[in-house]
Amino acid sequence: MSTPPRRAARGGRRPGDSGTREAIAAAAREHFGQSGYDGTTVRAIAATAGVNPALVLYFYGSKQQLFVDVMRMPFDVAEAVERLVAGDRATIGRRLAAFVLGALDDPQARNVFLGRVRAAAADRDAAATLRGLITGELVGPLVHRLGVDRPELRAGLVSAALFGHVMTRWVVEIDAVVGMTADETLETLGAVLHLQLTGPLGGSADPPDG
């Protein structure tokens, strides 16, 4: 398990410090994002934030409550869905890819999403929470607002494409995926999302001439 570097000497902050609560939140997202829920300790978060572990519990109560409080997407998901729906339908796959890849470029959003994926892989409750976020707030509303046929199925397939990218790029770190240029990543992810959002479903998967 990799450990983020300590940022400051332990005990350097006190409850009265402005920014201490946010420093703990940032340290927590970093650890949860890199090591998952089970692999993260309050002690390690405190060390990265440069505070006493008791201060983490003073602000957030428990490791579980800390995870719930800090692992939120740092953007308005509903607003993002509205913007995607409002754009040109012919480029929806590419624009969704651009939106997701842009979010993953932001360390805070990336750590939130990666931490949730790692937690989901270890725990059924965390998997249910992530399932609710994907189908209830992000991909589900998007496909419904687009008015495509079989929205539930398409939402599932779009989710698969997004999980596949995150797993190969950020978790399993397949060399060829890590090494793709930004353009290649956008083109290839956009192509899959375009297929899942607008392509035929349940027909022949292979054209006659292969």
Residues 170-199 binding a copy of itself (CB under 8 A) are 171-177, 180, 183-184, 186-188, 190-192, 194-196, 198-199
Q: What are the tokens at 164?
A: 């596949």
Q: Output the smallest distance, CB 171 to a copy of itself, in A.
A: 6
Among 20, 28, 35, 103, binds a copy of itself (CB under 8 A): 35
Q: Output the smallest distance, CB 47 to a copy of itself, in A.
A: 19
Among 38, 76, 82, 105, binds a copy of itself (CB under 8 A): 38
In order of 38, 178, 202, the CA distances from 150 in angstroms are 37, 33, 11
137 binding a copy of itself? (CB under 8 A): no
Which of 42, 103, 49 minimizes the C-alpha distance to 67?
42
CA distance 198 to 48: 45
CA distance 59 to 108: 20
64 binding a copy of itself? (CB under 8 A): no
5 binding a copy of itself? (CB under 8 A): no
* Under 8 Å between Cβ of 62 and 52: no
91 binding a copy of itself? (CB under 8 A): yes
Looking up tokens 């609710």, which residue turns up? 132
